[in-house]
Structure 1
């Protein structure tokens, strides 16, 4: 039963992705324009708009970020207030997750500003404070799926948590609709009949929503096709019937129409939600998630190449930059782990980043063409589709001299002006998943002798152009090969892709299987140099370079500097800039920092967002080690230190297990022990002023 639930969680995540990516390119289009241009939208239309298929989207980022409150607050019975704090931790103002449409125009932006002002949830989203129009827009329904995925067939818990989450930003019927949809999703783990799901979920919502649901159900039952129902919605509940830019009622009715008119046809359901117009990516995402839970992985058998083109890939954009590049497997694991820790159930979560444990999963692995070879790779699949074992199966034909089966994964995003053009109106904020000197290992099985493997890396060079570096060939023996490697250093510049090329001295066909790939360790010695050394073409106005884009900044100003690597300025408290993988544990971070006129400055480490971290800082004539936890500050240790402004100090923040040291100019000045935060990225902190930093060095630690 547990395995069945786990697969349904993965199916729900994947269904959400397929729906969002189908609906995303036509979001905001008039219904008539969708109809005349495409008719029924069964296939991805991103090529029509010039955007990539995999783009950042609030429907994805918010859904998989806001539910982190469950793990960040100790798996206790959290309330809206704690979920609101999760918003503040992971959202970067005017950059991540939300549509930043303005106070009293964008519901979520309005709620964020209330939270920032110190107004606690649920007042932050209330109609008393924000008005009925703003509080009853669509957003609460967008972000609700993960609460159901964490509590399979548990409508009581799902209703509680989804209501608390929705009330951070919404009120009234918008909250009721979010709860109704989440409860349906939770029940769908067991109940497969849509009519029964609707009837049972109605016990958890208000009479106002019940009347709407019952009415649309009657309309669907009598209609000949979905376009007839769509016309009824437009006539009685179209956008012109409600104030605001994206009212909940219209879109909630579209979700129900898509489910009821498609019944057990997953592809048909997300097609209807997309082709009907209005908030297409939100509606298709919700429909896709619910139907994928209800129908299981069988839902994807008749969707053409929709699943293959996605290949599990997704971006979850937040202040936790190391978790931006992710996939449906990684997110499903975390939801299952969160649920099990809350309920006390057992779950052996894979320790390897890539374990391919769900049927058909490929975790973002794609063919990568190498200019020096012709491509012999013919198919990427999973061995669990035909056996009991999990593994990435790579099939090749006519492999021989001059050809290679080449494949790999993205470890960063091309955010330079050339690469960023046309991606999305949501910013991509991301730290790499692989750094120079970072170790990784994998297990690969081959079915014949005479095969070789080469590791290759696409990286950004000093001109910010993508270049390729190929390592020497390694001989593979028939059977299982365990290979350990270390990513090469490209002067601190980002690695864009990690790739593998299978070659042979004789023409052959066959398969290789990767059973697992571990990629989350700390780098041994990773160093950023001066800004001039990082990018040749740097000018004082250059703010969009690949190496600078590795950092996630909530500071108001973050830019390269002629005399230093970066300058960081922030007019308020808590100007944080981070880099690194969210799984880093034992490391030190150091930099030469010039103190400007500020209240506090230093380094942060084990950062999990920008309001959960440790920091080594200079403030008020003291050197301090701080714990910032969900916006609340605790001084763990402090000693007097006579520092001077406009003077450079070598600062180092050291972590090993529970030990934390703060070193200044090579001398340990302050130390502390604490175990609350065990992992996370690192970077800089400045309050109300400026710091300039020369270089950044991250080293793996072995002990004090």
Structure 2
């Protein structure tokens, strides 16, 4: 892919998350309340509301999670709505992730999810025929469409098809046309900067007469004045919420998006000000505006106004059943969108890049002067001209070190979100971290990690000091306590006011040894410490056990609990399981969501190796086992390439060959009952 196109995708991803964070604190507020409280909102107001900027949000999670329908299905063209519906079911954790869980018949997306769960395929799941006249006409269709549009640079036909297919999982009618209008404008914005010409081109994909009239009227109103407040008053009088059924109709919000695009000109920051201050669904509207203007105007326009990027640092959460993929940033999501665009255009997939490659000008991938630094901090600021992360020192000397770090798991404040924070760490004990760092002579460096303790206190693990350019550190054992931040510390015996450039930081593969042993719970009054939150559970009940390590209980089939990441490729997973009342239980491996995985289970008198891919469950191996064994059963499930093997109590109990899933997290599964786990061990197979 051309570098200029890739940077525009990055600017679009950045614009999306900056817009969402800009509008999020006042989501649902009226225009009048916003003006009375803040006046025009030119910058983040989260601090005035005692909220962090970066929190889980449905507009970000849905945009980048549902987009995985492309990668997970081999980048199909055209995109099938049913495939996107299956993606919803794989990544959504019931009543927890991504959606507004407002109830059947009230929340459009929740209603569509329940239809899908009950076996209704998309697009029927989101149709007027099934869900009535007003519910499919709410705003969500345009909220989640941006990544599909960005994967179609310069190709509005493909953007229109994919956006319509993806949005039809939950929406219909005018909402689909509104989403397609913005999606085609985004696809064309890679080469066309003029908003009016983008609108003219996008309207060729719109057939809904009411939407066509609204767009025409908005353009007339915007052309007649340079005061956006007057246009907003016209929208409220003619197309406000009182004119439409439902809690968050598409038309008022779509009108605000168009107003912000038309009246802010080429001022990126001003467009977010208008979209946020106008009220209604502020984070959704500012997110769409930010994405389109990021693509259209580029990084230079984002950097021209208030320093929005510095406060966010690329960081974002994409909260799904694929836990470690939830700890992410604008660079990683850009790579995924660019890879999809390449695949859809028949180009080969790019070579694997380091996790932290700081690919684009200004990108920092969550790195900042470490908030857990002890003593005076010698890091003055971080910059990036596109060649690496530059760490500027002031007063680095004996007794004054400098450190930078980035989250590899959830921040303590993430629980403040109104959306559930569900995630797993991206880095684990037993994995080896490498770093390439250019730095002045005499400056030494070391890698380190901050860890959550058993009572959520923070501890620190340090690697060895080195004056070499390349650092290498295998994270030591923590007995299952999760890593929270990864950092680099710098030190010097003589004073240094200079620059170190971090070229890359990376790790890959399964941990050499990652083990949780025994009972970790310290108090029955704290059942959700961070070491438990490092697991993603779609089982109804999941908690630390009072005798062993973990307890998993689920009243139906497919109660899955996982940790780990898509780095985990060839490994064995083992645990000693106490089988209570259940229809089957065992271990999960190479999980990529909670409906795509391998499992090794004991069910009655049989040991099974199964592959689950969405609704399709295939038994790969079936072996009879001793039904009279008492007490706990030791299961070990090994995966090396396409070879899958199971041992029960140290004896072979199944073998199969399958290449459907090459990597993914590990954990447990239980069907209609409970299983208790004593320990959890993951060992890489080299």
Pairwise TM-score range, normalised by the shorter structure:
over 0.9
Runs of 4+ residues over 6 Å off in structure 1: none
In the other structure, the counterpart of 1:387 is none
CA deviation vs aligned residue, 1:228-261 (integer Å, no higher than 9, x gap): 0000000011111111111110000000000000
In the alignment, the residues of structure 2 paired with residue 141 and residue 341 of structure 1 have an alpha-carbon distance, to the nearest angstrom, of 24
- Output aligned runs, 1:612-691, within 5 Å: 612-643=596-627, 647-691=631-675
CA drift at 1:262: 0.5
Alignment check: 8 A CA contact 1:433 1:519 kept: no
CA drift at 1:420: 4.8
Deviates more, 1:451-460 or 1:652-661: 451-460
In the other structure, the counterpart of 1:249 is 251
Deviates more, 1:35-44 or 1:456-465: 456-465
In the other structure, the counterpart of 1:585 is 569
- Output aligned runs, 1:110-121, within 5 Å: 110-121=111-122
Deviates more, 1:404-413 or 1:286-295: 404-413
Matched, 1:266 2:268: yes
Matched, 1:54 2:46: no
In the other structure, the counterpart of 1:63 is 63
In the alignment, the residues of structure 2 paired with residue 217 and residue 198 of structure 1 have an alpha-carbon distance, to the nearest angstrom, of 10
In the other structure, the counterpart of 1:16 is 16
CA deviation vs aligned residue, 1:51-91 (integer Å, no higher than 9, x gap): 21110000000000111111111222331111100000000
- Output aligned runs, 1:120-519, within 5 Å: 120-206=121-207, 207-370=209-372, 372-384=374-386, 390-414=387-411, 419-420=413-414, 423-446=416-439, 448-476=440-468, 481-519=469-507
In the other structure, the counterpart of 2:585 is 601
CA drift at 1:16: 0.3
CA drift at 1:369: 4.4
Alignment check: 8 A CA contact 1:612 1:631 kept: no
Secondary structure of the residue that 2:427 maps to in structure 1? coil
Matched, 1:538 2:523: yes
CA deviation vs aligned residue, 1:116-163 (integer Å, no higher than 9, x gap): 011111111111111111111111110000111111111111101110
Alignment check: 8 A CA contact 2:509 2:570 kept: no
CA drift at 1:589: 0.7
CA deviation vs aligned residue, 1:189-242 (integer Å, no higher than 9, x gap): 111111111011111111332111111111111123110000000001111111
CA drift at 1:370: 5.0
CA deviation vs aligned residue, 1:77-121 (integer Å, no higher than 9, x gap): 331111100000000010000000111110000000000011111
Alignment check: 8 A CA contact 1:254 1:276 kept: yes
CA drift at 1:337: 0.9
Quickly say closer, same or farther: Cα 1:686–1:493, change in 2 above 3 A: same
In the alignment, the residues of structure 1 paired with residue 284 and residue 629 of structure 2 have an alpha-carbon distance, to the nearest angstrom, of 50
Matched, 1:523 2:511: yes
Quickly say closer, same or farther: Cα 1:12–1:371, change in 2 above 3 A: closer
What TM-score do you get using the length of structure 2 for normalisation? 0.98
Alignment check: 8 A CA contact 2:463 2:473 kept: no
Secondary structure of the residue that 1:283 maps to in structure 2? helix
CA drift at 1:18: 0.7
In the alignment, the residues of structure 2 paired with residue 602 and residue 347 of structure 1 have an alpha-carbon distance, to the nearest angstrom, of 35
Deviates more, 1:457-466 or 1:197-206: 457-466
Alignment check: 8 A CA contact 1:369 1:375 kept: no
Matched, 1:700 2:658: no
Alignment check: 8 A CA contact 1:596 1:689 kept: yes
In the alignment, the residues of structure 1 paired with residue 222 and residue 517 of structure 2 have an alpha-carbon distance, to the nearest angstrom, of 63
Matched, 1:29 2:13: no
Alignment check: 8 A CA contact 1:596 1:646 kept: no
In the alignment, the residues of structure 2 paired with residue 303 and residue 462 of structure 1 have an alpha-carbon distance, to the nearest angstrom, of 44
**Number of residues paired by the alignment?**
684
In the alignment, the residues of structure 2 paired with residue 561 and residue 518 of structure 1 have an alpha-carbon distance, to the nearest angstrom, of 34
In the alignment, the residues of structure 1 paired with residue 202 and residue 627 of structure 2 have an alpha-carbon distance, to the nearest angstrom, of 62
Alignment check: 8 A CA contact 2:25 2:49 kept: yes
In the alignment, the residues of structure 2 paired with residue 612 and residue 569 of structure 1 have an alpha-carbon distance, to the nearest angstrom, of 20
Matched, 1:554 2:554: no
Quickly say closer, same or farther: Cα 1:203–1:459, change in 2 above 3 A: same
In the alignment, the residues of structure 1 paired with residue 675 and residue 607 of structure 2 have an alpha-carbon distance, to the nearest angstrom, of 16
**Alignment RMSD, CA only?**
1.4
Matched, 1:107 2:100: no
Secondary structure of the residue that 1:474 maps to in structure 2? coil
CA drift at 1:451: 1.1
In the alignment, the residues of structure 2 paired with residue 105 and residue 212 of structure 1 have an alpha-carbon distance, to the nearest angstrom, of 25
In the alignment, the residues of structure 2 paired with residue 290 and residue 569 of structure 1 have an alpha-carbon distance, to the nearest angstrom, of 45
CA drift at 1:468: 2.7
What TM-score do you get using the length of structure 1 for normalisation? 0.95
In the alignment, the residues of structure 2 paired with residue 278 and residue 228 of structure 1 have an alpha-carbon distance, to the nearest angstrom, of 16
In the alignment, the residues of structure 2 paired with residue 643 and residue 598 of structure 1 have an alpha-carbon distance, to the nearest angstrom, of 15
Secondary structure of the residue that 1:40 maps to in structure 2? coil
CA drift at 1:444: 0.8
CA deviation vs aligned residue, 1:590-634 (integer Å, no higher than 9, x gap): 111111221121111100000000111112421111110122111
Alignment check: 8 A CA contact 2:609 2:619 kept: yes
In the alignment, the residues of structure 1 paired with residue 374 and residue 166 of structure 2 have an alpha-carbon distance, to the nearest angstrom, of 52
Secondary structure of the residue that 1:522 maps to in structure 2? coil
Alignment check: 8 A CA contact 1:333 1:349 kept: no
